[in-house]
């Protein structure tokens, strides 16, 4: 967790909230995330509320957090948003 940027532990999930400038920017951010998670084959929960994007990562198959969740979060953190 200490290597991640503004992610929080919420039970068996890590979460992050990103405030974008506009709804259009939020959707661009989501599309950039989609490229990463498709490549990594590990999909987050994503909620868009206006210009705010809320992300949640957990490994549903394992019913807990795994290294894959932290790897995806780290890749998302590399995006410039």
Give tens-digit pLDDT for 35-69.
999 999 999 999 999 999 999 999 988 889 999 99
List the domain boundaries for the chain: 8-77
The DSSP secondary structure of 32-48, one letter per residue, reads HHHHHHHHHT---EEEE
Give pLDDT, residue 81.
66
Give the mean pLDDT of the chain.
Answer: 95
Task: Please give the model's pTM, rounded to 2 decimal places.
Answer: 0.91
Tell me the pLDDT tens digit for each residue of 69-78.
999 999 999 9
Q: Which of 14, 15, 21, 55 is nearest to 36 (CA)?
A: 55
Comparison of pLDDT for 80 and 6, the residue scoring more: 6
| Residue given tokens 């599309």 in the structure block | 31
Strand ranges, E, within the chain: 8-10, 13-19, 45-49, 52-57
**CATH architecture label of 8-77:** 2-Layer Sandwich (3.30)
């Amino acid at each position: 967790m200490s290597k991640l940027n503004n992610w929080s532990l919420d039970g068996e999930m890590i979460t992050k909230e990103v405030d974008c400038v506009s709804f259009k920017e939020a959707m661009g951010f989501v599309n950039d995330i989609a490229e990463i998670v498709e490549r990594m084959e590990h999909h987050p929960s994503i909620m868009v509320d206006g210009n705010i994007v809320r992300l949640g990562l957990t490994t549903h198959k394992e019913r807990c957090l795994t290294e894959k969740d932290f790897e995806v979060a780290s890749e998302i953190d590399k995006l410039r948003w």
